[in-house]
Structure 1
Amino acid sequence: MTDQRHSTSEILPGLEPAALARPGTALRGRIHLVGIGGIGMSGIAEVLITLGYRISGSDLRASEATRRLADLGAEIHIGHDAAHVGADADVVVVSSAIDDANPEVREARRLRIPVIARAEMLAELMRMKCAVAVAGAHGKTTTTSLIADVLGRAGFDPTIVLGGRLRALGGTNARLGRSRYMVAEADESDGSFLLLKPTLAVVTNVDREHMNTYGSMERLIDAYVSFVNGIPFYGRAF
């Protein structure tokens, strides 16, 4: 049987494999995630834990996701309270469900700790990788899972951040791969996917959704165009 595996340079000329690097190497303290039990936040938290960061987080209720993260070593708090932040936090990451009135957000700002969106932390992880980001109204999780599975079977061992749990990952929604490849969903619901700068962008489809964010179909389409235009000159859009 012929070996069908290819090197990264054959797929993307000029891009060679690199050793896994920790993002944000200036961070020495703790990363705190508000809304850590959410499907998108928990995936990022799991990758950060595997990279060796100290992780804490809070959510309104305990869940399978918070229990898994606690088992992996995260400091989990149920409920939101200013005391959960602490002066040793380097950054506070918030999900789209968290507003400025949240006591942990207010405490972080009082302590002059940076408060960033989930997508900004995902973008930082992507910055260290040759990243594939999948956007679209429907089919994001399925398409992301298929791309990740193909890359895995081809021997590329990608880092994966999904918007759903995958049986092949042991029922979780994230894993840290050993290659420079990463596959992740890009959430267009609040416009934060424009923070992402992947090497490869996939748009499954566009539908009249999230009008509370965009106001019109024209502005929604413009956002997708901006997302695709954000890829580097050596990237590709599909």
Structure 2
Amino acid sequence: MHSKEKISPIPEMRRINRLHFVGIGGAGMSGIAEVLLNQGYRITGSDVRKSTNTDRLKSLGAKIFLEHNAKHVEKADVVVYSSAIDSKNPEIKAAINDSKPLIKRAEMLAELMRYRYSIAIAGTHGKTTTTSIVASVLAAGGLDPTFVIGGLLNSTASNAKLGQSRYLVAEADESDASFMHLQPMVTVVTNIEADHMETYGGDFERLKKYFVDFLHNLPFYGL
């Protein structure tokens, strides 16, 4: 695929038109929402407070609600939620009651990565910096990558961008073990330290095993 070939909407999501994000103001959620918005999907989202992320999404055409209410998911084809959202959230309960597809943030990121040459950056420290560096290097090389980062990339003043090449660079979050949903072509693990241990039952060996298993998500021809 030529580096400048335009990326079309996700092939398996052609019947999907409208996605609602519960907790859309989070760094990871807002980045995914922005990429999908720029692919032509209709995006709505809710959060408990206004932020630079919600303001940016609103300026790009997303409809943002600064409260959680069951009526917000009525027209959604899919509901995406972050790990910070409680199962008692009215929008989550409404999605379940209406039998709407309800997927985690990392699962949506995995769908974005599925049809691209994807690079996932994991590790306890340095994920955001390393992801930013990789995205910047690819951009400087004329490869125009899509990226989803947990912080702002100075050159774009955004934490996400829909590029026009097959490359996608994403920060992989181990805090809730959701990085196990990702199946990248290239994986970088910056380091592993005892962090977010509540997710891993306080067992550092279990944490390390998750990272090893994450590396095993690579295809045999991956890096």
| TM-score, normalisation: structure 2 | 0.96
Query: Cα deviation per residue 1:123-176 (whole Å; 9 max; x = unaligned)?
Result: 00000110000000000000001111111111111001000012111x210001
* Structure 1 residue matching 2:85: 3-state secondary structure: coil
After TM superposition, give the deviation of residue 27 of structure 1 in Å.
3.1
2:55 paired residue number:
67
Structure 1 residue 178 and structure 2 residue 164: aligned? Answer: yes
1:48 paired residue number:
36
Structure 1 residue 202 and structure 2 residue 202: aligned? Answer: no
Distance 1:115 1:28 in 2: 13
Give yes or no for contact 1:157–1:179 (8 Å, CA) kept in 2.
yes
1:91 paired residue number:
78
Unpaired stretches in structure 2, ≥5 consecutive residues: none
1:3 paired residue number:
none
- Letter of the structure 2 residue corresponding to residue 173 of structure 1: N
Q: 207, 210, 215: which is aligned to 1:228? A: 215
Query: Cα deviation per residue 1:12-42 (whole Å; 9 max; x = unaligned)?
Result: xxx7766513114333331000000011100
Give yes or no for contact 2:2–2:165 (8 Å, CA) kept in 1.
no
Alignment of 1:90-169 (within 5 A): 90-169=77-156
* Structure 1 residue matching 2:13: 3-state secondary structure: coil
- Letter of the structure 2 residue corresponding to residue 112 of structure 1: S
- Letter of the structure 1 residue corresponding to residue 147 of structure 2: I
Query: Cα deviation per residue 1:168-207 (whole Å; 9 max; x = unaligned)?
Result: 11x2100011000000000000000000000000000000
Structure 1 residue 22 and structure 2 residue 1: aligned? Answer: no
* Structure 2 residue matching 1:89: 3-state secondary structure: coil
2:25 paired residue number:
37
Unpaired stretches in structure 1, ≥5 consecutive residues: 1-14
| TM-score, normalisation: structure 1 | 0.90
Calculate the aligned-residue CA RMSD, in Å: 1.2
- Letter of the structure 2 residue corresponding to residue 78 of structure 1: L
- Letter of the structure 1 residue corresponding to residue 184 of structure 2: P
Give yes or no for contact 1:58–1:78 (8 Å, CA) kept in 2.
yes
Give yes or no for contact 1:21–1:128 (8 Å, CA) kept in 2.
no
Query: Cα deviation per residue 1:57-108 (whole Å; 9 max; x = unaligned)?
Result: 000011111111011010100010101111x311100011002100000000
